[in-house]
Structure 1
Amino acid sequence: MLQNLWEWLLSRVFGEGMASGVAVRGTEFLGKEISQAVHREDQEVTRVRLRAGESYTVVARPPATRRERKLAKSERSLNRKFEALNRPTKSQLRSARKLSRAQRRIGPATPVSKRGRKRAQKEAALGRRFDQKMRPSKQQLKVARELTATTNQLDASRAVSLQLARRKNRIRRRRTKVTVYD
């Protein structure tokens, strides 16, 4: 009934003919899309199979406070910076290739021969140089410390806000009993 009234109203607004039919179908399509966007179906988060005596608790986190948003933004920024600093540099890659080549060459050589000893010495020197190049810089260590501190502060802040929300929304009724039958 309502659908017929809607079609009649749209035909009155747009008139008769092919263009009005297209306009009616277009407005109906847009109406359906809008209603689907507004009235979304429930989304399944997880499936849990409970046994007798088990319980399952779902905790929804309260909205982030200004401090949490600021800390989260800082954490994302530090994370990007940390990842950028930890990308291997050209000299580190070059040193790794040289060390790999030296280790491949040392394999077939006998360790007692002159050539074998020379290759072993070269491999040891390249290994020390590689270790030196891979040592984290002061800036990397500083950013890692800042990132750890920021993450800890953010986790603590989120825990406090969750605790406050639990305390604020405490329900004064008996817990519902859930019976699970297998």
Structure 2
Amino acid sequence: MKHAATAIAFALLSAGAARAEVLDAQSNGFATKRSVVIAKPAAEVWAALVQPAKWWSSEHTWSGSAANLSLGAASGACFCEKMPNGGSVLHMTTVNAQPGKQLTLFGGLGPLQLSGATGHMIWALAEKDGKTTVTWSYDAGGYMRGGLDKIAPIVDQVLGQQQDRLKAYLETGKAG
């Protein structure tokens, strides 16, 4: 069986062509941001956002199945994943939940969990004329062997893919 870190790194490298914008990348941290307009009202976007099992890519999970993901939309809740044999993964903790407006999470995704790095992710929703602009930003900092600037483009690509999957799920009923 492959080591989990190797599997996650491979999954990150094989992500789709979606790209967010890396705003800054240094050895000790990075910032990425991307906005997309979804042809649905903010209440519907929020309802889907907090159900990652319906739109997150299974390729970017520790268990290999997005069906194992959950996201609690209240402070202190978590973006968690059930693992085989009763195990679990805490990806991020919810620190700010404003239904239909903003969800802020704190923690490390994927290979960041294997380092001394962590970050905060903000999903901001702004509705206009029945459409919702979702602006997704992720700032991470700390120590990672080789430097966080090296992984920033990969994280950027993976988060872009997830945002595209959320949009597709909401507009077509299918994430992929």
TM-score by length of 1: 0.25
Q: Which has the higher helix share?
A: 1
Q: Which has the higher strand share?
A: 2
Pick the structure with greater CA Rg. 1
